[in-house]
Amino acid sequence: MEHDFRFKVKVGLNLSDDIRRLKMVRDCIGPEKKLMVDANQCWGVQTAIDWMKQLAQYNILWIEEPTSPDDILGHGYVSRCLAPDGIGVATGECCQNCVMFKQFLQSGAMQFCQIDSCRLAGPNEIMAVILMAAKYKVPVCPHAGGVGLCELVQHLSIWDYVSVSKSKENRMTEFVNHLHEHFVDPVVVKGGCYLAPQMPGYSIQMKESSVQDYEYPNGRMWKELLTSGRYTGTMKQTT
């Protein structure tokens, strides 16, 4: 069975370079694979529209964080202008409460809902956002990749699929193979898919050895950094 891999490219610094790189990626993955781009909030509203019009030729599924994450009306305008090109707007990883998500969804300012498990106030608020997204038929595509975020969001995506949406259409969960070795129950990904965890809990417990090594400011690694002379900043010592 062919795996349904999806691809995302960072954009926004240089238009001609973005065009060159997206052409290379599209040539490599073929015309049918899903391709997304991420601007990390670097544009104003009109720049986002003008820039993405130039990239639309590469069959882009979404533009992620095209402008300030607090600009709900701006995202709405970008969404309306890019809709004829088949490009949706993905945002939400910096959205800190369910009221903002409600306004994004009500106004049609997001076509892909990117909840962040550490930005919102825990599972109860996250579940409320997932239910609102289902009401507006907006797929939830959790933001992940930071320290422990993949471990956290796997449960949210599984719950969304099993209990709410019952669909994988245009739904995906980010993954970065980064720092999972520090967790007792790290994520397992095979064939481009998360496997359900086998241990109870939220999969976020860190190994005691990692805590002892990296806890700031008294962890072993911090102390070694201080004594080596390679750290030139200031550090508050605690007892």
> Of these residues, 23, 53, 135, 143, which one is catalytic?
143
Three-class DSSP category at 90: strand
Please state whether beta strands 189-190 and 112-113 pair in parallel, antiparallel, or not at all (unpaired). unpaired
Contacts 24+ apart (CB under 8 A), 21-30: 22/55, 22/58, 22/60, 23/58, 25/58, 26/58, 26/59, 29/5
d(CA 110, CA 125): 18
Alpha-carbon 177 to chain mean position: 14
Indicate if 182 belongs to the active site: no
Helix runs in the chain, H state only? 15-29, 45-55, 72-82, 98-106, 123-135, 149-159, 208-214, 220-228
Instruction: Identify the active-site residue in 10, 23, 168, 178.
Output: 10
Q: Is residue 10 annotated as part of the catalytic site, yes or no?
A: yes
Is residue 134 within 8 A of residue 105, CB to CB? The reply is no
Side-chain half-sphere CA neighbours of 75 within 13 A: 32
SS3 (DSSP) at 129 = helix
Residues marked active site are found at 10, 143
